[in-house]
Amino acid sequence: MSDLNEQEKQVLEMLVKNPAPQVKFKWDDNFQRRILALILTDNFFLIQARALIQPEYFANESHVLICKSLFQYFDSYKNLPEKFFIKQNIIEAVKDKSDATKLYNLTELENIYESFVPSPEIRSALLDKILTFAKMQSLRIAMDLSQKDLKKDPESEETWARVYERFQQAMNVNKNFEIGLEYFIDINKIFEDLENEVDAKDKFTSGFSKIDDSLSSGGCKRGEIYSFIGLPGKGKSLCLVKSAVENVKMGKKVVYISLEMGVIDIAKRFTSQFAMVPHSDLSKHKREIEDLLDINTREFTDKNRFVIKQFPSGTLDVAGIRSYLEQLIISGFRPDLMIVDYPGEMKDVPGISTWESKYRIMRDLRGIAIEQNMCVFVAIQPNKAAASLTLEEYIDENSIGGSFDQVKPLDGLWSINQTNDETTAGYGRIFVVKHRNGRSKYAFPIKYDRETLDIYECSEGEYRIALHNVHNERADVANVDGQKKKSTIEEDLDYAE
């Protein structure tokens, strides 16, 4: 057990020394019969139960059989079955059993159909009971199965992955309990959302207006995940820091999780961009920076707007992020925006292929965005082929390293493109690869500020002139047939036409 961390050791000790309760618990047969009666005869209750209940939650084997038959029918036909269908399934399932067993199952089915059907006044109360029943049974099953796995192989990563996943599912069993947006009843919710978009109440900025303006809502939204992609050293982290700076200025609370750079290094970059002072001269501007921070937090009762946390590379998984967020919230800091720099350095899900793990991590990060009602920004690496792209080409979804499927959960993907000449000039291009809700497949030029470590948009003309100057300087050095050759904007930048 030497490889287990302290938290894992405590969980192991608790599960092994304290036997889990039996999964099949006697929680009032009449109550469980009532639940079955509800979902057998009421489509609304059936929809709720299908997202919450597993047939194995019931203590009575006859109830298990009836629930399985009901769910199989609903999954296929999306409506309530007639009693005749369920009865025929029960007869088929117990045809090899004793006559007493056959009689008991058919009698129990009749008893369930004759059970009390609730009045509208107590429907909400019964829904709460169904939810409690589902949560308790889901947790009991998770404990029982995890205990068995941990007794077999307590030090296996695959074992702990299963334990984490089971308990996560058990604790989130109520997430799909609401029926959803009932359009003709809740039409006003749509207009409320549109008003919020206009008021910028819950919008987030990418840090670049040319990206924000192309999104249908005028910015990123809660419950969404966006990513920068670029080669090492081309500005992924700088863009993430820029996003943090601009969203803090908008009044958002931001948490920055780094798996590469140290906390102080991230803080220095943030300070330099936030105060627009040279990165190398921060100490000379201490008083100026303090005054600026005071001005920007004056309107907030809670002055704590930005938290930076570093985790060692390869040690953090999605469960760890959830745990960390819970600690943050308990401490009083509930982030509006979470930045993860970057998921490629997170711990892979054990027992599956790397590409599947990368996809699951991105999928689950988007899940966190929805669960916590916040926005998430990340960065990903392209494959090696991206290093050979020319000025006429851009890093896109075909350039994703590790797993192409990483792009599927993303609401937006923005690539940072910079050739050697652009690096020399201090410029580059951002290409909007994907927007789930907005315009995509377009590029715009950017400029790197080597003093403040900022990256910002620039005009096409400024960009073209900078590249032209670099090309001319290179041509001045080259000697073609004994003569120096100067290029022209038309020759060097023909690709931009």
pLDDT band for 484, please (50, 70, 90 cuts). very low
Superfamily of domain covering 10-14+21-171: DNAb Helicase; Chain A (1.10.860.10)
Q: For the stretch 104-139, what's the b/e string if a residue is b when 16 or more beta carbons lie within 10 angstroms of its beta carbon?
A: bbeebbeebbebeeeeeeeeeebbeebbebbbbbbb
pLDDT band for 54, please (50, 70, 90 cuts). confident
pLDDT band for 172, please (50, 70, 90 cuts). low
More confidently predicted of 194 and 151: 151
Per-residue confidence (pLDDT) for residue 49, from 0 to 100? 76
**pLDDT higher than 90, residue 373:** yes
Which of helix, strand or coil describes residue 398? helix
Six token digits for residue 213: 């303006």
Query: What is the residue whose two structure tokens read 């916040």?
Result: 374
Beta pairing class for 442-449 and 427-435:
antiparallel
CATH of 204-458, one of 3.40.50.300, 3.30.565.10, 2.40.50.140, 3.30.230.10: 3.40.50.300
Mean pLDDT of 9-34: 55
State the Cα–Cα distance between residues 15 and 146, nearest whole angstrom: 8
State the Cα–Cα distance between residues 27 and 25, nearest whole angstrom: 6
Per-residue confidence (pLDDT) for residue 488, from 0 to 100? 44
Query: What is the residue whose two structure tokens read 């490629």?
Result: 344
- DSSP labels for 297-311? HTT-S----EEEEE-
Six token digits for residue 452: 């403040």
| Helices 43-52/29-41 angle, 10° precision | 120
Per-residue confidence (pLDDT) for residue 490, from 0 to 100? 45
Please give the share of the chain, as a percent, with pLDDT higher than 70.
Answer: 82
pTM greater than 0.85 (yes/no) = no
State the Cα–Cα distance between residues 327 and 9, nearest whole angstrom: 20
State the Cα–Cα distance between residues 335 and 306, nearest whole angstrom: 9
Per-residue confidence (pLDDT) for residue 424, from 0 to 100? 94
Per-residue confidence (pLDDT) for residue 237, from 0 to 100? 95
Cα dist from 377 to 57, 177, 240, 359, whole Å: 38, 28, 7, 16
Backbone angles phi, psi at 204, to 5 degrees: -125, 150
Per-residue confidence (pLDDT) for residue 385, from 0 to 100? 86
Per-residue confidence (pLDDT) for residue 15, from 0 to 100? 47
Six token digits for residue 281: 């001269």
Q: How far is CA 105 from the centre of its chain?
A: 45
More confidently predicted of 365 and 326: 365
**pLDDT higher than 70, residue 189:** yes
Cα-only R_g, the chain: 29
**CA dihedral (414, 420, 421, 423) positive or negative:** positive
* Residue 496 identity (one-letter amino acid): A
- The answer to which of 87-91, 106-110, 221-225, 480-484 has the lowest mean pLDDT is 480-484
Mean pLDDT of 178-187: 67
State the Cα–Cα distance between residues 246 and 252, nearest whole angstrom: 9
Per-residue confidence (pLDDT) for residue 341, from 0 to 100? 93
Delimit the domains of the chain by residue range.
10-14+21-171, 204-458, 464-497
State the Cα–Cα distance between residues 38 and 45, nearest whole angstrom: 6
Q: Show the CA angle centred on residue 336, arms to residues 332 and 341, nearest 5°.
A: 105
Per-residue confidence (pLDDT) for residue 20, from 0 to 100? 39
More confidently predicted of 198 and 473: 473
Per-residue confidence (pLDDT) for residue 308, from 0 to 100? 96
Peptide bond into 342 cis (omega under 30): yes
Per-residue confidence (pLDDT) for residue 477, from 0 to 100? 67
State the Cα–Cα distance between residues 244 and 306, nearest whole angstrom: 8
Reading phi first (left if > 0) and then psi (alpha if -120 to 50, else beta), residue 243 is in alpha
**pLDDT higher than 70, residue 466:** yes
Per-residue confidence (pLDDT) for residue 79, from 0 to 100? 80
The CB density around residue 71, as the number of other CB atoms within 10 Å, is 17
Count of residues for the chain? 497
Per-residue confidence (pLDDT) for residue 184, from 0 to 100? 73
Backbone angles phi, psi at 426, to 5 degrees: 85, 30
**pLDDT higher than 80, residue 389:** yes
Six token digits for residue 160: 């702990």
Q: For the stretch 190-221, what's the b/e string if a residue is b when 16 or more beta carbons lie within 10 angstroms of its beta carbon?
A: eeeeeeebeeeebbbbbbbeebbebbebbbbb
Query: Please, are residues 234 and 428 in contact by the beta-carbon 8 Å criterion?
Result: yes
- DSSP labels for 204-250? E--S-HHHHTTBTTSSEETT-EEEEE--TTSSHHHHHHHHHHHHHHT
State the Cα–Cα distance between residues 441 and 434, nearest whole angstrom: 7
Per the prediction, the chain carries an average pLDDT of 83
Query: Please, are residues 442 and 214 in contact by the beta-carbon 8 Å criterion?
Result: yes
Mean pLDDT of 393-422: 89
Quick one: which of 229, 238, 203 has its CA closest to 437?
Answer: 203
Beta pairing class for 375-380 and 483-484:
unpaired
pLDDT tens, 316-351? Answer: 999 889 888 988 988 889 999 999 998 999 998 888
Per-residue confidence (pLDDT) for residue 486, from 0 to 100? 45
State the Cα–Cα distance between residues 288 and 426, nearest whole angstrom: 27
Please give the share of the chain, as a percent, with pLDDT higher than 90.
Answer: 44
Six token digits for residue 243: 């996003």
State the Cα–Cα distance between residues 480 and 412, nearest whole angstrom: 46
Per-residue confidence (pLDDT) for residue 6, from 0 to 100? 60
How does DSSP classify residue 427? Answer: E
